[in-house]
Structure 1
């Protein structure tokens, strides 16, 4: 890909609707996308070539990081990255060599120590910041523990000192009715990391016991900062990321994008896109509300989020980018209340695409599209080709 890529003035927009894919509601028999009134997405689909994409592989439920890396053209199996690093970079935390970062969730545990809410009612960022201050700057066995708020119930915990390893298990069982897990080493040199993490978790349990609903934390995604070849190097692009949620800003930094300052709303993101359109030739625009609603099992809220996105789509198209690719990093069906293994609808629009007969952007319709079933890693090369940014292979 690097050898075929060439710089041109054409512009690409990759619109990622987080958790886009869904499943039919048991009463209506329609998915969230099929239920939503999305005339602008449907009109764009009618001019595009559509299909279904698989973020990782058949039957595999992806996390957000591998789902996005696939959309950026990276093999998510080869390019592993922990959630902790993404959260830390997303809040502009200065990770040092040897640091191990992990993502944290404030959660609620009952009198028996069992998890009854993995997100502590999605406590506000204001509350989270105060609780993080209670936990910050502890030290165990010579290892400093730095705790910083991210957004709402999420936080990042960075372990700093010598002899640390990312090769430990998570404390988050990722299900209700279970107790937080003990962190265990996965390699011989990870014993110190596991001990310190468990000591910190015990400290947190004592410090937070009177702060229900946020009376405990869960840790997952222990990781050190990786070094990837950047998208700019691979594709010869000047890339920009527009995302309000810290984790996706962090991921964008890992692959070398310029992360543009933006506000918390979708309208803020669109305003940022408009203000910077002439400066870049690739834009990653991230929409979070769909995924959050799906994880909460709120079918109607996910429908509303899709409809809100549809209303601003004309503002993205009005600047006439040469290529528009729309998809999601994974499916988050409200009926499952979490990520799933199901394929994700995708469309690619340009004046050089071969439009198919799809006239509605939905799971059922995209199943009939001309792209067929493709790995998500194919989306970026197809976008590049449609932007005339790939040269000929061979003589």
Structure 2
């Protein structure tokens, strides 16, 4: 038996008037999922425990089968592991976004224009981070380059307990009231202010502005944490697993769990990602030794943060066409029995452009037996109507593995 998780990050949503009071998932054309729905268990699942923030870190840990209440130490250290940063037990890490802020003179008066600096390229971003390192790196603080706008700050003998706001939570809003608070407030805010002065006229940004792109004119710190540890996935569940993702966070979780990381050329973390390549890589891995593949697609989440309804629907349709369609056909053609779980990690509603803790719809399919819960389609409305509810998200993995 082979096992697949098709994870559409942020895919769940709320009904929108401009979609005829439907969600993007309800509006999308999903013939492959529709074909599975009649024989699948479909229901709702709570992936974010009460009292925890609805981040992709917490929610993906849940779907992978780990109880976030037991082993979660913060978001950024998971990304640090993927980047290859050697963490010590005394280190504190923070996500460092390259962002676009408005040009008011006082930093406190600025607005968060774009949490991703227009999806800046990794090449451009690395040049900016290397430039900032010459000013910011010292015995206590070290910057590390990541992918696109996602980078990392490591603080030697740092202190946790800082109040830090994710920049995607305040898109197009004033930064006042959302600036760092806590023991490291002075240092963090100082670097953010200085980064604006250093970056606003940097040649990379001048070229971006000339090309009609948004400049990466500031850093923004959030998502603090400390060195994590996860139980080995194969030891915990008895299957050999792999992870496909363009996002350092999810790769880091997979690496900590001892899972195989499958890199796919053209995987971007947005709606222009190589959906087909991810599906092909997953199918190949399943037919050549792996028991389970966790396929993470960031695109619906990014579209939710951007308020981009059109491409959120497009991303869902590509997940259905390229990923679900390819895997179902490929495994059936190979006469390989399989179980497939399709779900988001959390909702990212277009109307608020950030994550929520609301339960998410899931579909569980078994190629060898009928699991029907009476739903005719996979979406939020049909999933709620079945009355099937999984209170603890980390138990979804046990349902997938039929344990």
> TM exceeds 0.5?
yes
CA distance in 1, matches of 2:51, 2:357: 5
Q: What's the offset of the Cα at 1:11?
A: 1.8
* Higher mean C-alpha deviation, range 176-185 or range 297-306: 176-185
CA distance in 2, matches of 1:309, 1:353: 23
CA distance in 1, matches of 2:81, 2:177: 26
Residue 47 (structure 2) pairs with residue 51 (structure 1):
no
Secondary structure in structure 2 of the residue aligned to 1:349? strand
Q: What's the offset of the Cα at 1:195?
A: 5.1
Q: What's the offset of the Cα at 1:203?
A: 3.7
Q: What's the offset of the Cα at 1:184?
A: 4.1
Alignment of 1:162-241 (within 5 A): 163-170=157-164, 174-175=169-170, 176-179=173-176, 183-185=180-182, 191=183, 196-211=187-202, 213-241=215-243
Contact 1:54 / 1:373 at 8 angstroms: preserved in 2?
yes
Secondary structure in structure 1 of the residue aligned to 2:264? coil
Residue 272 (structure 2) pairs with residue 275 (structure 1):
no
User: Structure 1 pair 61/361, CA: closer, same or farther in 2 (3 Å)?
Assistant: farther
Residue 346 (structure 2) pairs with residue 355 (structure 1):
no
* Higher mean C-alpha deviation, range 343-352 or range 365-374: 365-374
CA distance in 2, matches of 1:46, 1:59: 35
CA distance in 1, matches of 2:291, 2:198: 48
Q: What's the offset of the Cα at 1:109?
A: 2.5
Contact 2:132 / 2:195 at 8 angstroms: preserved in 1?
yes
Secondary structure in structure 1 of the residue aligned to 2:283? helix
Residue 283 (structure 2) pairs with residue 292 (structure 1):
no
Q: What's the offset of the Cα at 1:244?
A: 1.9
User: Structure 1 pair 180/217, CA: closer, same or farther in 2 (3 Å)?
Assistant: farther
2:397 match: 380
Q: Which runs of 4+ in 1 moved over 4 A?
A: 57-61, 137-141, 193-196
CA distance in 1, matches of 2:53, 2:28: 24
CA distance in 2, matches of 1:65, 1:232: 20
Alignment of 1:152-163 (within 5 A): 153-159=149-155, 161=156, 163=157
TM-score scaled by length of structure 1 = 0.85
Alignment of 1:240-279 (within 5 A): 240-263=242-265, 264=267, 265-277=274-286, 278-279=288-289
Residue 365 (structure 2) pairs with residue 368 (structure 1):
no
1:393 match: none
Aligned length: 368
Contact 2:200 / 2:217 at 8 angstroms: preserved in 1?
yes
Alignment of 1:28-47 (within 5 A): 28-47=20-39
The answer to which structure has the higher helix fraction is: 2
* Higher mean C-alpha deviation, range 215-224 or range 364-373: 364-373
User: Structure 1 pair 104/199, CA: closer, same or farther in 2 (3 Å)?
Assistant: same
Contact 1:49 / 1:349 at 8 angstroms: preserved in 2?
yes
Q: What's the offset of the Cα at 1:55?
A: 1.2
Residue 309 (structure 2) pairs with residue 315 (structure 1):
no
Q: Deviations over 1:169-220 (max 9, x none)?
A: 32656422124855444xxxxx5x5554444334423322324622111101
User: Structure 1 pair 44/296, CA: closer, same or farther in 2 (3 Å)?
Assistant: same
Residue 124 (structure 2) pairs with residue 127 (structure 1):
yes
Contact 2:25 / 2:313 at 8 angstroms: preserved in 1?
yes
User: Structure 1 pair 374/209, CA: closer, same or farther in 2 (3 Å)?
Assistant: same
Q: Deviations over 1:309-361 (max 9, x none)?
A: 11121211221452111111001121221112322110111134531221211
Q: Deviations over 1:101-154 (max 9, x none)?
A: 211111222314212313323322232122111112556773242231322x22
User: Structure 1 pair 298/244, CA: closer, same or farther in 2 (3 Å)?
Assistant: same
Contact 1:53 / 1:343 at 8 angstroms: preserved in 2?
yes
Contact 1:21 / 1:342 at 8 angstroms: preserved in 2?
no
Structure 2: give runs of 5+ residues left out of the alignment. Answer: 206-214, 268-273
Contact 1:148 / 1:157 at 8 angstroms: preserved in 2?
no
User: Structure 1 pair 98/74, CA: closer, same or farther in 2 (3 Å)?
Assistant: same
Contact 2:78 / 2:228 at 8 angstroms: preserved in 1?
no
Secondary structure in structure 2 of the residue aligned to 1:360? coil
Structural RMSD (CA): 2.4
Structure 1: give runs of 5+ residues left out of the alignment. Answer: 1-9, 186-190, 391-395
User: Structure 1 pair 273/14, CA: closer, same or farther in 2 (3 Å)?
Assistant: same
Q: What's the offset of the Cα at 1:57?
A: 4.2
2:209 match: none
TM-score scaled by length of structure 2 = 0.84
